[in-house]
Amino acid sequence: MEKILEVENLELSFHTFAGEVKAIRGVNFDLKKGETLAIVGESGSGKSVTTKAIMRLLPESSSEFKNGQILFDGKDLTKLTDKEMQKIRGKDISMIFQDPMTSLNPTMTIGKQIMEPILKHQKLSKIEAQKMAIYLLQLVGMPQPEQRIKQYPHQFSGGQRQRIVIAIALACNPKILIADEPTTALDVTIQAQILELMKDLQKKIDTSIIFITHDLGVVANVADRVAVMYSGKIVEIGTVDEIFYNPQHPYTWGLLSSMPSLDVQEAKLYAIPGTPPDLLDPPKGDSFALRSEYAMQIDLEEIPPFFKVSDTHYAATWLLHPDAPEVTPPATIIERMKRFPSSRYYKGANGGATK
């Protein structure tokens, strides 16, 4: 498949009162035409910052590109002028922000805000743009859109604001849609509608989607591929089946083990022990080592490179080094691996369950 976006060796820091926050520490990935890449990972690991860097929306005064490039359509986005970038933003690449209130203007009706990019990037009259705004609001499941385009953001519920932001992002049929937690404020039924809507759009115009979310159920539903981030790096990347049924990095194991299950009542939920590393002074070696029961001596000394698991699956953990001892993953992870053909725990397509 054709690559539409390539992020290479991205390194980025913030200068703060307390010192240099090394938020992105060497991120590499590409995005193919028409695919959905989900980014999951620790809160504060750099998911939003990575995508804001693509959109060039980080505060210029305090952020610094240290290294790397972001290639879109043969152009390095990090080198474009603001004016060139404005033509791309909202048209070729659009973004649904994590905090809907920060991307909506509190003093402008939401009708005007949805019409703005339509009028800017498409040759439509005001009346046509307004019709389109109403249509988009209908698409995202807003009741009474004709009445409600006249209202202001504070008059909407959290999930309704989120849907307004989605409507704005979809207005110009973008080539790349970056969706940062687009459905966290939505109930599961409306969430399912929005996910369908995004899939339809993708089928119609071959949009590529970067989907950031903490909800692993949503990831399982929408993603073709998944990247797992931890402290400013991607630690594992693969197809959705590879990440859910054959994960290799101990952080991915911890993440998949932290979800409560609907069937069993645990006394206490599993949480990964320890705290995330300090990005002012990131640890040497594998930054997850201090929280991992699988850490080895080398993890404290050297940063693990990406080891290849398959043509589509890579993980940055020393456990995959040919000389590493074989370890037993957590029980819940073995249950998952039982369903993965090339895993040593494979037990057939239904994971050996007797149903």
Partner 1 sequence: MKIQKKLLEIKNLKQYFNPGKPNEVKAIDDITFAIYKGETLGLVGESGCGKSTTGRTIIRLYDATDGEVLYDGVNVHGRKSKAELKAFNRKMQMIFQDPYASLNPRMKVMDIIAEGLDIHGLVKNAKERQERVYQLLETVGLNKEHANRYPHEFSGGQRQRLGIARALAVEPEFIIADEPISALDVSIQAQVVNLLKELQEEKGLTYLFIAHDLSMVKYISDRIGVMYFGKLVELAPAEDLYKFPMHPYTQSLLSAIPLPDPDYERNRVRKSYDPKSHNYKDGENVTMREVRPGHFVYCSDVEFAALQAEHANN
46 lines the binding site for ligand ATP (CB under 6 A): yes
Region from 43-51, 84-92, 114-122, 309-317 binding partner 1, contact rule CB under 8 A: 43-51
Whole-angstrom distance, CA of residue 120 vs CA of residue 92: 13
> Which of 74, 81, 83, 262 is the binder for partner 1 (CB under 8 A)?
262
Shortest gap between Cβ of 45 and ligand ATP (angstroms)? Answer: 4
Of residues 144 through 203, those in contact with Mg ion by CB under 5 A are: 157-158
> Which of 61, 125, 265, 354 is the binder for partner 1 (CB under 8 A)?
265
3-state secondary structure the chain: CCEEEEEEEEEEEEEECCEEEEEEEEEEEEEECCCEEEEEECCCCCHHHHHHHHHCCCCCCCEEEEEEEEEECCEEHHHCCHHHHHHHECCCEEEECCCHHHHCCCCCCHHHHHHHHHHHHCCCCHHHHHHHHHHHHHHCCCCCHHHHCCCCHHHCCHHHHHHHHHHHHHCCCCCEEEEECCCCCCCHHHHHHHHHHHHHHHHHHCCEEEEECCCHHHHHHHCCEEEEEECCEEEEEEEHHHHHHCCCCHHHHHHHHCCCCCCCCCCCCCCCCCCCCCCCCCCCCCCCHHHCCCCCHHHHCCCCCCEEEECCEEECCHHHCCCCCCCCCCHHHHHHHCCCCCCCCCCCCCCCCCC
50 lines the binding site for partner 1 (CB under 8 A): no
Complex with ligand ATP: residue 159 or 254, whichever CB lies closer: 159
> Which of 13, 36, 45, 48 is the binder for Mg ion (CB under 5 A)?
48
Of residues 65 through 124, those in contact with partner 1 by CB under 8 A are: 98-102
Give the one entry of partner 1, Mg ion, ligand ATP, none that residue 147 binds, where binding means its C-beta sits below a cut-off of 5 to 8 angstroms depending on kind: partner 1
Region from 78-86, 107-115, 129-137, 143-151 binding partner 1, contact rule CB under 8 A: 143-151
Shortest gap between Cβ of 125 and partner 1 (angstroms)? Answer: 26
- For the chain, the distance separating the N- and C-terminal CA atoms, rounded to the nearest angstrom, is 38
144 lines the binding site for ligand ATP (CB under 6 A): no
> Which of 155, 258, 312, 350 is the binder for ligand ATP (CB under 6 A)?
155
Contact 319, 294 (CB under 8 A): yes
Shortest gap between Cβ of 135 and Mg ion (angstroms)? Answer: 25
Shortest gap between Cβ of 347 and partner 1 (angstroms)? Answer: 14
Give the one entry of partner 1, ligand ATP, Mg ion, none that residue 353 binds, where binding means its C-beta sits below a cut-off of 5 to 8 angstroms depending on kind: none
Shortest gap between Cβ of 68 and partner 1 (angstroms)? Answer: 20
355 Cβ neighbours under 8 A, 6+ residues apart? none
Region from 37-45, 68-76, 127-135, 306-314 binding ligand ATP, contact rule CB under 6 A: 37-45
Which residue is at the shortest CB distance from ligand ATP?
Answer: 159
> Which of 5, 21, 209, 309 is the binder for ligand ATP (CB under 6 A)?
21
189 lines the binding site for ligand ATP (CB under 6 A): no
Give the one entry of partner 1, ligand ATP, Mg ion, none that residue 265 binds, where binding means its C-beta sits below a cut-off of 5 to 8 angstroms depending on kind: partner 1
Give the one entry of partner 1, ligand ATP, Mg ion, none that residue 124 binds, where binding means its C-beta sits below a cut-off of 5 to 8 angstroms depending on kind: none
Give the one entry of ligand ATP, partner 1, Mg ion, none that residue 188 binds, where binding means its C-beta sits below a cut-off of 5 to 8 angstroms depending on kind: partner 1
**Rounded alpha-carbon distances, angstroms, from residue 39 to 49, 102, 126, 214, 229:** 12, 21, 37, 9, 7
* Residues at the interface with Mg ion (CB under 5 A): 48, 98, 157-158
